[in-house]
Amino acid sequence: MVRMSADERRESVIRAATSEFARGGYHGTSTEAIAKRVGVSQPYLFRLFPGKKAIFLAASERCMEDTVRTFADAAEGLEGEEALHAMANAYTKVIAEQPERLMMQMQMYVAVAAAEAEGDHAFGEAVRAGWMRLWDTVHLPLGADVNETTVFMAFGMLINCLVAMGFPPGHRVWEGMYPSARFQGRLEK
């Protein structure tokens, strides 16, 4: 059996934590479940990360990095309407093929709201910084147009919410949604 390095184990923990947190949220996920999924002990898990919050933040950061990369790669060399369509199509593919990433995003927002209500502003600052990188990644290919960026991000969040709530393709809530035909086709696969 080949032994993993600490960095490889850390990566395994981030992947496992993303799956567990996507399903159970911050408060509904135990570090025991994450350790079990990775195949390590909880004490070893805490040698890699100082606590559950650090694990959640690492998974959140990875989720945002992956989404930023999705948009940046899709829009590379494009601008305006072409960039918008390329980014929208890339994201609909992510939603269809990697639903855990979508659910992790939603859990991040819930966790930030709960932490802010408890007076923990550092947690929200970290997630907001990632979200601003996402905003900037979309903003530039759309011609640094605030209205275009706002509309793109608003539609994305609406799509996230509708998918998270389980509205099936073809449901009337998708009517008039950009890019509804492409989105529905990808979800049906």
DSSP string, 67-102: HHHHHHHHHTT--HHHHHHHHHHHHHHHHHH-HHHH
pLDDT for 181 equals 45
Give the residue extent of every domain in the chain: 52-188
pLDDT band at 6 (very low <50, low <70, confident <90, very high): confident
A 10 A CB-CB count for 168 gives: 12
- Residue 185 pLDDT > 50, yes or no? no
Q: List, for residues 14-57, the tens digit of each pLDDT value.
A: 999 999 999 999 999 999 999 999 999 999 999 999 999 999 99
The single residue listed with the structure tokens 């559950």 is 52
pLDDT for 1 equals 59
Q: Calculate ∠ Cα 127-111-106, nearest 5°.
A: 80
The closest alpha carbon to 179, from 74, 100, 101, belongs to 74
What the block records as the tokens of 158 is 């609406």
CB 104 within 8 A of CB 160: no
Q: List, for residues 77-133, the tens digit of each pLDDT value.
A: 999 999 999 999 999 899 889 999 999 999 999 999 999 999 999 889 999 999 999
User: What average pLDDT score do residues 147-169 get?
Assistant: 91
pTM of the model: 0.87
pLDDT for 177 equals 73
CB 43 within 8 A of CB 22: no
- Residue 150 pLDDT > 90, yes or no? yes
pLDDT for 4 equals 77
Distance between CA atoms of residues 20 and 121, nearest Å = 24
Q: Does domain 52-188 have CATH number 1.10.357?
A: yes
A 10 A CB-CB count for 125 gives: 12
The closest alpha carbon to 63, from 74, 55, 52, 51, belongs to 55
Helices (H), 98-166: 99-117, 121-139, 146-164
- Residue 67 pLDDT > 50, yes or no? yes
CA atoms within 13 A on the CB side of 7: 0
A 10 A CB-CB count for 115 gives: 20
Distance between CA atoms of residues 41 and 65, nearest Å = 28
